[in-house]
């Protein structure tokens, strides 16, 4: 799929909901999503805004909304998948947090008033969006002058062979994966929408533990085994770049690439 062509939006959104609804509680408890170091980093990057009004898009298990809530005036947690939104609400309410509200919404068409928000965040989700440009435009329209869009997500690679290899294993495991975009592509999306990218950084996350990574998405066992064989048969440069760890003929772990993008509404 070309980086420039939106996916079939209706089909992709149906796939996302069908895939993530049964796994909603798994994403609440997932160590990768609940405890990633990027959560504290997102809060740090948002701190200069003060007691702001924030929207967390595709909130998933609600971890970003929960992390931001103590420093924000109010946080709106949105998600396309109703089951995911309910799981996030239960999780956040159980922590005694009261300044979070919940909104079922498409990332590409955020139902908020123009120039009404100080902050829009999106963590480990934009690679699922059918039209990432529409998401950036909608976010930009929702931000007040000086407001920030902060995205933490998979990041594409400038080497086309490595990028294609990563794209294949990510989509093989999760068919709702659309693309991981490079920092340069994110800069272009933001500029088109009237946002200025002020900061980017690599996010050296923990490797994927293969068994839990494939189980969390409820990947069928024959597909888990087929992907594992493909990874083990890959050329050394691919296995080295993505740190494929093998033990007794089985994949123990591998690593994706992630990053953080900060853009400001001028």
**Mean per-residue pLDDT of the chain:** 90
Stated length of the chain:
266
Q: What is the mean pLDDT of residues 182-205?
A: 97
Q: What band does 81 get if pLDDT is binned at 50, 70 and 90?
A: confident
How far, in Å, CA of 203 to CA of 41, rounded? 10
Class of domain 9-207+256-265: alpha beta
DSSP state, residue 182: P
Of residues 97 and 81, more confidently modeled? 97
For the chain, how are helix, strand and coil distributed in percent, rounded to 5? 45, 25, 30
Report the greatest alpha carbon distance in the chain: 56
Can you tell me the distance from the alpha carbon of 61 to that of 30, in angstroms, rounded to the nearest whole number?
9
Q: Report whether pLDDT(11) > 80.
A: no
Average pLDDT over residues 154-174: 97
pLDDT at 7: 47
Dihedral angle over CA of 23, 29, 30, 33, nearest 10: 100
- Residue 22, pLDDT score: 53
**Cα dihedral 251, 183, 120, 191 in deg (nearest 10):** -160
Each residue of 93-118: pLDDT tens digit? 999 999 999 999 999 999 999 999 99
Would you give the DSSP letter of residue 155? B
Segment holding 249, helix H or strand E? none
Q: What whole-number distance in Å separates Cα of residue 15 and Cα of residue 195?
A: 30
**Which strands form 74-79's sheet, in the order they lie side by side?**
100-104, 74-79, 53-57, 117-123, 143-154, 258-265, 195-202
12 vs 247, higher pLDDT: 247
Q: What confidence category does residue 199 fall into, taking pLDDT thresholds of 50, 70 and 90?
A: very high
pTM for the full predicted model = 0.87
Backbone angles phi, psi at 186, to 5 degrees: -60, -40
* Residue 37 binned pLDDT confidence (cut-offs 50, 70, 90): confident
The domains of the chain are located at 9-207+256-265
48, containing H or E segment: none
Q: Which segment of 17-31, 175-189, 201-215 scores lowest on mean pLDDT?
A: 17-31
User: Residue 154 phi/psi, 5° resolution?
Assistant: -55, 140
Question: 61, 30 in Cβ contact below 8 A?
Answer: yes
């Amino acid at each position: 799929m070309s980086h420039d062509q939106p996916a079939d939006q209706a089909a992709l959104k149906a796939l996302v909901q069908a895939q993530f609804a049964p796994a909603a509680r798994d994403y609440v408890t997932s160590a990768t999503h609940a405890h990633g170091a990027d959560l504290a980093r997102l809060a740090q990057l948002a701190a200069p805004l003060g007691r702001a009004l924030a929207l967390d898009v595709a909130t998933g298990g609600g971890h970003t909304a929960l992390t931001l809530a103590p420093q924000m005036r109010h946080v709106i947690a949105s998600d396309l998948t109703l089951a995911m939104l309910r799981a996030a609400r239960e999780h956040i309410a159980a922590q005694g947090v009261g300044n979070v509200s919940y909104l079922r919404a498409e990332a590409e068409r955020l139902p908020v008033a123009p120039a009404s928000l100080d902050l829009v965040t999106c963590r480990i989700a934009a690679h699922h969006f059918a039209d990432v440009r529409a998401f950036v435009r909608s976010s930009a329209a929702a931000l007040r002058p000086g407001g920030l869009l902060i995205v933490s997500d998979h990041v594409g690679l400038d080497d086309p062979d490595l990028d294609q290899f990563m794209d294949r294993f990510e989509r093989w495991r999760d068919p709702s994966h659309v693309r991981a975009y490079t920092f340069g592509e994110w800069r272009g999306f933001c500029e088109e929408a009237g946002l200025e990218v002020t900061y980017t950084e690599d996010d050296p996350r923990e490797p994927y533990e293969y068994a839990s990574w494939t189980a969390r998405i409820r990947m069928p066992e024959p597909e888990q085994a087929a992907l594992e064989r493909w990874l083990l048969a890959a050329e050394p440069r691919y296995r080295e770049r993505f740190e494929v760890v093998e033990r007794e003929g089985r994949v123990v772990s591998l690593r994706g690439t992630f990053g953080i993008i900060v853009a400001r509404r001028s």
